[in-house]
Chains A and B, each alone.
Chain A
Amino acid sequence: MSSPTATAPNYELIQQDGLETSLLEVSMGPHHPSTHGVFRMDVKLDGETVVDLQPVFGYLHRNHEKLAENMSYLASMPFTDRLDYFNSMTNNWAYALAAEKLVEIEVPERAEYLRVIMAELTRLVNHISLVGFFINDLGALGTPLLYAFREREKIMDLFEQASGARMMCNYFRFGGLRNDVPEGWLDRTREVVDRFPDFLDEYEKLLCENEIILSRTQGVGCLSRDLAISAGITGPMLRASGVNYDIRKVDQYGIYNRFKFRVPYTDDDVGDCYDRFMIRMLEMRESIEILKQALRDIPGGDIIGKAPKIFKPKPAEAYARVEGPKGELGFYLIADGTPKPYRYRVRPPSLINLTVLRDMCLSQKIADAVVILGSIDIVLGEVDR
């Protein structure tokens, strides 16, 4: 089996009666309404059809890894918030997991539960706003997006009450969490979680049967199972391509083995934008199930384990990964016995999911290229780091 690689269709310019035609080269981005940030696609068009597409990265590059290598372990924590600024909580968690692997800190029970709650709330936030943005890319005038943001706001309030900030939470610490949640927070969360399915019902009614959305997304941006595995696609995108692989189930990090939840995936080898959109819609319902169980079972107690005052791990290597809302978010740390990591590496799901952008966009329409990019779900803070 050889690795499937991208090949541009053998495209030939038509020359007729001495008239020369050429492709229309459009540089979509770095400021374009729907590249989700400063991302560029150099597109070659034949009429409306995409003949070639080259993603161009690096407009938001700040060498996060180098910064972190010149900083104490703890000081990188707030910078992980800024990787994928929709999911600061899961970013924190992945980094904390990697650091905890280096020094083996016990995480108290309550902190583990709160970590799961935060991560699943984050997943709701990410998926709901992603679906909103995705429909926006399809050309809806922001209505689904604003409904999504209406609900996101409620979860953002919860984050703010717990951590003090809406997006840059900086809430996780090695061995636990920074502080306990305030009084009554769990009740407010329960209320939000209980009402979320109603919103999802409404949202599904608005979107899932709409003929225009169906015809715009089905058969668009197909990603075969083999290519998805080979290209290292993770997260909802992988499951939409027909692979049942969820790191919450495979690695069972944290306490995910205690919760009963299902992982939606598709069985057929289509993997188009509709699948990716629907898998995210279905995943939100499962997140709500996890949240309900976690909120029911959460014990009292300490919030942070016995972490050393000065974090100075012995020389070792650790790779930890979590199922972030966008895919596998991994942190690879090499300690050399100093308070700074010798090597600090982020495995960004957004960047690696973009590997197949070209393959999916070729010979689609330019409007589809935007939709496909939307369905990949990227955040440029993470792509460029």
Chain B
Amino acid sequence: MSLEPLTLTDILIATVPLMLIFATLFAFTTWLERKALARIQNRIGPNKVGIPCTRIGLFGLGQPAADGIKMIFKEDIVPRGADRLFHLLAPILALIPAMLVLCFLPLNFPWIKNIQGLVKPFMLDGAVIFFFAITGLNTLAVFMAGWASRNKYSLLGGIRAVAQMVSYEIPLVLSAVIVVMMVGSLNAAEIVKEQADEYWFILSPWGFTAFVIFFIAALAETNRSPFDLPEAESEIIAGYFTEYSGFKFALFFLGEYIAMFAISGLAVTLFLGGGDGPGVTMNPEDQGLATEAFPGLSAVWFLAKIFALIAVMIWLRGTLPRLRVDQLMGFAWKFMLPLSILNILVAGFAWHAEQLDNTIITVITWVISFAVLYGAASGLNQLNRGKVRPREYKYAE
């Protein structure tokens, strides 16, 4: 399919609404997170900030705006002896890659249908590779912040972040590889189409395993609890952004949440069928575009799935304590990596079994692969756990 070259207007129409939507969603997500965490902890959460100059609370929906205003007007403090240039660049660099990858999520917004050229971003043939390449930049930003702050806690946080992000990149990519193997394409739109035609990959044993690995690695990539070591509050104050305040801190914050959207978006694309859902038919001949019951339904499904994943992230954050740094690395290298390699093998065999087009063989393959994966996971867990288990205690009368 040949495409016309993009004009500036096309690019603006494609990117500006996207950024606005996700900035709004970011605001909403901070509110959602605070509210949900509060309820998990049996508090009320933000409930006062609503419409200014009135007593209408609107469940505290004005809170993100108030926070934003506060952040902007706060004094920007740079520690003496800090590397001012990199101290400034780090939050910007944290935001840019996260924003950039949003463009490659196969989101079918209604307005892009009319502009033929704008389909192109979704048809980037190496979307998945591109995604990982760009998100890898985030590591650099975090370390830059840690180093430039001239603070030992920041430095520790930066070092932790680099180690953690590099380690978890591997299971993250390896679990995405399975989907690429199954579809035979790196194109996000094609991956979605394949899932709409066949089944969502999360429903197969190897897909499920890959999804779990991907999700855990995604938590680690975005520094979410229980892998929030780079910003571990109880150990190293706030990690790499200890010395950030005001708008720079807000940028970090924004970048973190946008990265969350991006990586959940990728998880949705790879495993949860993208914009697929009731009322949506993916058009095989027109890659990535869908026939919808009403315009934008596909995008709504996509965002709903993203929010489902984010809700789970919040839930985990409200429940779990943090891992220790050696356990974190051990978990990546001793548990996730072997399991995802095994998963690739299992998926390969299963793919060949599916090629036979025999229902019985397919069912048997599924059962066997489920058993193999669960057994391997349990075994690895036992190996890693060692002697750690609940103990019995004595009582003296």
Which residues in A have some Cβ–Cβ distance to B below 8 Å? 24-26, 32-34, 45, 47-48, 135-143, 146-147, 150, 206, 208-216, 218-219, 244, 246, 249, 262-267, 274-275, 278-279, 282, 365-368, 370
Contact = CB atoms under 8 A, between A and B. Distances in A.
B388 A214 contact: yes
A45 B234 CA distance: 17
A75 B22 CA distance: 62
Interface residues of B, number: 43
- Identify which of A141, A206, A212, A370 gathers the most chain B CB atoms within 10 Å of its CB: A141
Given A140-B319, A265-B396, A367-B232, 20 more contacts: A24-B156, A33-B234, A47-B159, A139-B228, A139-B321, A141-B41, A141-B225, A208-B390, A211-B388, A212-B226, A212-B321, A219-B387, A219-B388, A244-B394, A262-B395, A263-B396, A266-B391, A365-B324, A365-B326, A367-B235
Contacts of A34: 233-235
A366 B37 CA distance: 27
Contact of A266 (B42, B225, B321, B393): B393
A278 B393 CA distance: 9
B397 A262 contact: yes
B233 A367 contact: no
Contacts of A45: 156
Given A24-B152, A262-B397, A366-B156, A210 B388 contact: no
A209 B40 CA distance: 19
Contacts of B396: 244, 246, 249, 262-265
A210 B390 contact: no
B237 interface: yes
Contacts of B41: 141-143, 146-147
Contacts of B323: 139, 212, 215-216
B327 A216 contact: yes
A139 B322 contact: yes
A143 B318 contact: yes
A377 to B, nearest CB: 15
Contacts of B235: 34, 139, 366-367, 370
B234 A136 contact: yes
Interface in B5-24: none
Given A212-B226, A214-B389, A32 B237 contact: yes
B320 interface: yes
A138 B388 contact: no
A264 B319 contact: no
A279 B318 contact: no
Contacts of A265: 393-396
Given A143-B41, A214-B388, A370-B235, A279 B320 contact: no
B324 A210 contact: no
Given A263-B396, A367-B232, A138 B152 contact: no
Contact of B321 (A213, A274, A279, A282): A213
B325 A26 contact: no
Nearest to B385: A215
Interface string B315-349: 00111111111110000000000000000000000
Interface in B219-259: 225-226, 228-229, 232-237
Nearest to A208: B390
A146 B42 contact: yes
Contacts of A219: 387-388
B153 interface: yes
A365 B321 contact: no
B132 to A, nearest CB: 27
B318 A141 contact: yes
Contacts of B156: 24, 26, 45, 48, 366
Given A139-B228, A367-B325, A370-B234, A282 B152 contact: no
A264 B394 CA distance: 6
B393 A215 contact: no
Given A264-B393, A274-B391, A368-B324, A139 B226 contact: yes
B369 to A, nearest CB: 25
B144 to A, nearest CB: 19
B55 interface: no
Given A142-B41, A265-B393, A48 B325 contact: yes
Contacts of A32: 237
B43 interface: yes
A328 B205 CA distance: 56
- Identify which of A150, A212, A266 gathers the most chain B CB atoms within 10 Å of its CB: A212
A47 B360 CA distance: 55
A219 B388 CA distance: 8
Contacts of A275: 391
Contact of A26 (B152, B318, B319, B388): B152
Nearest to B155: A24
Nearest to B394: A267
A265 B393 CA distance: 6
Contacts of B225: 139, 141
